[in-house]
């Protein structure tokens, strides 16, 4: 099922990398599919991906090169036998990576409403996790080589191609916001309702939590406009009365962000 088009979402390469970085990436892309400088670059096969039926694996000169979703294949006019330039191969790989990151982000935001800051933090965590995995793999490989050398074995070290890094964060955030998948106002409403239902909480406490989530002050005020601390305190008292005596109940309410005076007044009013 086509959910979105992706190929037209990628800005010109000049907006993402400087020219010398682009040239390096093109050389690496050619090396990865076995193309020497000046050789023919041809798409030789397109196969449906095993794990995701909405994506296909594209082979260049009989070697796997990149994967795309169906919409990208159509938009980029990818087909078997197509001869492409070095710049196009590098761009297709970039489009491929964007599609994968976007899809993961889309799946993540569909689990529950998210704030823009939560999405940005998620994308940063993904990148840090990828970097950590790369370092771990490098360390493991170096350890294996050292053990082989210690055993007197011949070691052939292949040149490691560094992981290509792209900065799609702002583009993905913008896209998901435009499509309505991420909306701070909807997130704030969901978050406030969820916190009130699960556990009574004060306006002060909720305002602080939403601020930490990156929600703007005006949105928070709109969401909390009809919320009443007195109603929340009474709800908590009904739940906790059997567990706490008056003093501990007041202390508990204060920890939830309610004022001492209001908490004490309502606890005393409901005693007996």
pLDDT at 116: 97
Averaged pLDDT for residues 38-55: 86
171: Cβ contacts below 8 Å, ≥ 6 apart = 9, 10, 11, 98
Residues 107 and 176: beta-carbon distance below 8 Å: no
Residues 119 and 109: beta-carbon distance below 8 Å: yes
Residue 202, CA distances (Å) to 55, 109, 205, 235 in order: 47, 27, 5, 12
Residues 44 and 62: beta-carbon distance below 8 Å: yes
Is residue 213 predicted with pLDDT exceeding 60? Answer: yes
Label residue 35 by pLDDT band (50, 70, 90): low
Label residue 18 by pLDDT band (50, 70, 90): very low
Residue keyed to tokens 């106002």:
185
Mean pLDDT of the chain: 81
pLDDT at 241: 83
Name the more confident of 106 and 26.
106
Averaged pLDDT for residues 131-137: 82
The DSSP H or E segment spanning 47 is strand 43-48
Label residue 153 by pLDDT band (50, 70, 90): confident
Averaged pLDDT for residues 187-205: 83
Is residue 160 predicted with pLDDT exceeding 80? Answer: no
Residue 112, CA distances (Å) to 20, 72, 182, 204, 215 in order: 41, 27, 10, 24, 16
The pTM assigned to this predicted structure is: 0.70
Residues 218 and 167: beta-carbon distance below 8 Å: no
**Separation of alpha carbons 133 and 10, rounded Å:** 26
Averaged pLDDT for residues 193-210: 82
């Amino acid at each position: 099922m086509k959910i979105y088009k992706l190929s037209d979402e990628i800005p010109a390469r000049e907006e993402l990398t400087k020219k010398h970085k682009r040239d390096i990436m093109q050389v690496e892309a050619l090396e990865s599919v076995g193309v020497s400088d000046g050789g023919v670059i041809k798409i030789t096969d397109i196969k449906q991906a095993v794990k995701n039926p909405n994506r296909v694996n594209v082979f260049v000169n009989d070697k796997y090169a990149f994967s795309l979703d169906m919409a990208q294949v159509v938009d980029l006019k990818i087909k078997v036998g197509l001869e492409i330039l070095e710049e196009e191969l590098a761009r297709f790989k970039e489009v491929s990576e964007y599609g994968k990151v976007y899809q993961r982000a889309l799946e993540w935001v569909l689990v529950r409403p998210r704030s823009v800051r939560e999405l940005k933090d998620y994308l940063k965590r993904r990148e840090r996790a990828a970097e950590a995995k790369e370092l771990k793999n490098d360390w493991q490989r170096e350890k294996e080589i050292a053990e082989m050398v210690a055993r007197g074995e011949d070691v052939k070290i292949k040149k490691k191609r560094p992981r290509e890094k792209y900065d799609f964060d702002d583009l993905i955030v913008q896209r998901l916001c435009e499509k309505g998948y991420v909306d701070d106002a909807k997130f704030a409403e969901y978050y406030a309702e969820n916190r009130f239902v699960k556990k009574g909480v004060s306006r002060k406490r909720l305002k602080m939590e939403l601020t930490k989530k990156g929600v703007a002050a005006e949105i928070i005020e709109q969401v909390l406009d009809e919320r009443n601390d007195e109603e929340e305190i009474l709800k908590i008292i009904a739940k906790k009365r059997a567990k706490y005596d008056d003093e501990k109940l007041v202390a508990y309410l204060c920890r939830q962000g309610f004022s001492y005076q209001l908490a004490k007044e309502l606890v005393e009013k409901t005693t007996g």
